[in-house]
Structure 1
Amino acid sequence: MIHIAAVGTGSIVEKMIDAMHQVEGVHPCAVYSRSMEKARSFQLDQAYDSLEDMLRDELVDAVYIASPNSLHYEHTLACLEAGKHVLCEKPFASNLNEAEVMQQKAEDTGLILMEAITTTYLPNYQQLHSLIEEIAPVRVVQCNYSQYSSRYGKLLNGEEPNVFQPAFSGGALMDINVYNLHFLAGLFGRPDDVQYRAAMYENGIDTSGTALFSYKGFSASAVGSKDTAAESFVQIQGENGSIRIPGGANGCRVVEQWTNEEKKIHTVDQAENTMVYELDFFRRLVNGEETDTGIRQTKLVMEMMTKARESAGIRFPADRKNRQPGE
C-alpha cells in the first residue's frame, strides 16, 4: 500500500483524493496546508500546517503536489530530498530550467517523479496513434479548451487570484492550454516553430491565447481561454479523413472518425473521475511495474510553453536564472 500525502487544498486535491479511494494499492493519508482548519477538513489520517513536519512522517511514501504553479519547483525538491516519491500536478514547473533541475534531483535520489496530467493516460487518447495513421497524412490540427473562469470575474473586480498572477506562474497557457500542448506533444512530438498570441491583462498575464505550432507538413493551433466560454474540442484533419473529439483534450470522452463521409465512433468507456488513470500509472511506477515516468514528454511540453511565453513577452519571477527554492 502506497500512502500518499497531498500538498494543497483546492478542488483538484478533492478530486485526486477521490481517485485515491478508487485505485487499489494507494491510500490518502495526509494533507498539508498553511491553514490547519483546511487541512483537517479533508478528514484524513493526518493534517499538517508544516510541510517539514509532514515530510518527517515516515508513514508518508509519496506526495501529490497541487500547490500554486510557482511552488511546484521548491515543493518537489523538498519532497525528493525527504525521500518521498512525487506526483506533481500540471503544469509541472514554471519553465524548462526548473523541470530539468527537478528531473536531475529525482535521478540523484532514485525516486519516482511524474507529472499529473490526465490527457496522456486516458484510454481514448492512447488509441489515437493508430487512428491517425488511418487518416494520414495530417494537414491541420485544432485544439480548443475555453472555460470562463469565475476567478476572471474576481480579477476584473480588483482581486488577485493566484491563477492570474505572474508571481504564481499563472495564466491561461499554464492553467488550461497545457492540456492541448500535452495532446500535441504526445502524438506529434517537438514542433519546428512555436508562437503564442495572447490577450493580456494589465499585470502582464495571459487570460486567453492561441499557440501556433509548425510541424513538417502541417500546422497545429491550441486555444486556451479563461476569459470566454465556448465549445471545447480537438479536430485532426488528414487527407484521408478526420478525427474529432468533442469536449476537448482534457477529457477525451468521445472519439469520432470521419472517412469518405462515413462516421465511426471509437470510444472506450472511461471512469467519471479521469484522474484514476494517471494515479494508477504512478502506483505502477512506484511498485516497479512501469519504468517510463513520462519525463521526456513533460520536458518537451515545458519547452513548448517556455518558448510560447517568450514569443508573447510573458515573463514570471520564476524565470530568473539560478533561482533557488524559496525565492
Structure 2
Amino acid sequence: MKLALLGTGMIVKEVLPVLQKIDGIEATAILSTPRSIETARELAATYGLGLATSDYEEILASNQVDTVYVGLPNHLHYDYAKRALEAGKHVICEKPFTLRAAELENLVAIAEQRQLFLLEAITNQHLPNFHYIKEHLDQLGDIKIVECNYSQYSSRYDNFKQGIIAPAFNPEMGGGALRDLNIYNIHLVVGLFGKPETATYLPNMERGVDTSGVLVMDYGNFKCVCIGAKDCSAEIKSTIQGNKGSIAVNGAPNGLPSVSLMLNGKDKETHDFNGGKHRMQDEFQAFQDIMAKQDLARAKELLEHSQAVMQVLDMDVSSV
C-alpha cells in the first residue's frame, strides 16, 4: 500500500508512527492547507514521505500513491473520498464516513464500479478486546440493557462558549458530540448487534450544535442508550447486561482498554487482549491484509457495517 495522508491534524500525527510498524504500508505523501504546509513538510521530513503539498490534484496524479487516507474535518470526507475514487485510488476514510447515508451509498457505487477498496477507519471493530466481547455475548443469556457513555469535557468547549468555534463544534463542518464521540458508541453497538429497529437522538443544543446528547436505540427485545458529551464529563464505560451476566468495557469505546465479564454467581474476570498496541495499529494492519490478499469478502463485511451505522445516523438525527 502506497498511502497518502490528507490532513495535518491530531489524527494524522497519531497514525504516522503507527504506520511505520506495519509491513507493507508505505506512507508516501501528505496533503495540507496552504496555511499548514510547513507542518506537512516537517511531518514528511520526520517520517520519510516523498511529497508534501497543498495541491490535491498532485497527489491524485502521483504514481507513488495507490491509497488515500482521509483524515480531514467531517464535512470534507465525502468530497475528498469521491475525488480519490474517481482518480482510481483506494480510500480509507476516518469516522464518520460521511455526514449522510446517501453520500456513503454514492461512494460505494463508485468504488464498486471502479473495483476499488473503500474502508472506514473505525478502531474498535478491529481490536482483540472487541472480538472477545463478541465471542462471549452468548454467555450473557438474553440481552436486556446496553449502555455506553463516552463523555469528556472538551478543551475547546470554553472557547466555544465565548464564540470561538473550532471544527469539532462547528455544525457546518459536521461537528458535535454525536459524530465525534458518540459515533464510537454507535459503531461498538452496531458491530455487536447490527442495526436497531429505531433510533432517536435527544441532543443538548448550543449555538446550533449538539454539545452532548443521548441516542436511544430500540432492538425490540432490548434497549440501548448511547451517551456522548463534550460539555461535561463522567466515567467512560460501556455495559452489556443480560439475564445471565454482564460485560463491561472499562474505558473509551475507541480503544476498549479492558473488558470485564461477570456471570451470575461467578467472580468477575477482567482481560486485556489488545497487547498494549496503539489503538490504530490493528485497523491499519487489517486494511493492509485486506488489500494485499484482495479479501473482497472482508472488505464488503466492513463496508456493510459502516453503511448500517450511517443508516442509524439518518434514522432520527438528520437535523443534527
TM range (shorter): over 0.9
Q: Deviations over 1:105-158 (max 9, x none)?
A: 111111111000001001110121221100121100000111111121221121
The alignment status of 1:174 with 2:179, answered yes or no, reads yes
- Contact 2:127/2:274 (CA < 8 Å) preserved in 1? no
Other-structure match for 1:38: 39
SS in 2 for 1:16: helix
Other-structure match for 1:318: none
Aligned-residue offset at 1:220: 0.4
Query: Structure 1: how far apart are the matches of 2:135 and 2:128?
Result: 13
Paired residue total: 310
SS in 1 for 2:246: strand
Structure 1 segment 237-252 matched on structure 2, within 5 A = 237-252=241-256
Structure 1 segment 124-143 matched on structure 2, within 5 A = 124-143=129-148
- Contact 1:85/1:286 (CA < 8 Å) preserved in 2? no
Q: Deviations over 1:189-229 (max 9, x none)?
A: 11111111111012x21011010001121100000111112
The alignment status of 1:107 with 2:150, answered yes or no, reads no
Q: 1:296 aligns with which of 281, 286, 304?
A: 304
Question: Which residues of structure 2 form unaligned runs of 5+?
Answer: none
Aligned-residue offset at 1:271: 3.7
Other-structure match for 1:48: 53
- Contact 1:211/1:308 (CA < 8 Å) preserved in 2? no
Pair 298,46 (structure 1): closer, same or farther in 2 beyond 3 Å: same
Q: 1:75 aligns with which of 80, 87, 94?
A: 80
Instruction: Provide the aligned C-alpha RMSD in A.
Output: 1.2
TM-score scaled by structure 1?
0.92
Aligned-residue offset at 1:162: 1.0
Query: Structure 2: how far apart are the matches of 1:23 and 1:108?
Result: 29
Question: Which residues of structure 1 form unaligned runs of 5+?
Answer: 315-327
Other-structure match for 2:313: 305
Aligned-residue offset at 1:186: 0.8
Pair 289,109 (structure 1): closer, same or farther in 2 beyond 3 Å: closer
Aligned-residue offset at 1:261: 4.3
Percent of aligned pairs sharing the same letter: 35
The one-letter amino acid of 2:77's match is H
The one-letter amino acid of 1:307's match is M
Aligned-residue offset at 1:272: 3.1
SS in 2 for 1:287: helix
TM-score scaled by structure 2?
0.94
Structure 1 segment 91-106 matched on structure 2, within 5 A = 91-106=96-111
Structure 1 segment 58-69 matched on structure 2, within 5 A = 58-69=63-74
Query: Structure 1: how far apart are the matches of 2:270 and 2:166?
Result: 40
- Contact 2:254/2:279 (CA < 8 Å) preserved in 1? no
Other-structure match for 1:286: 291
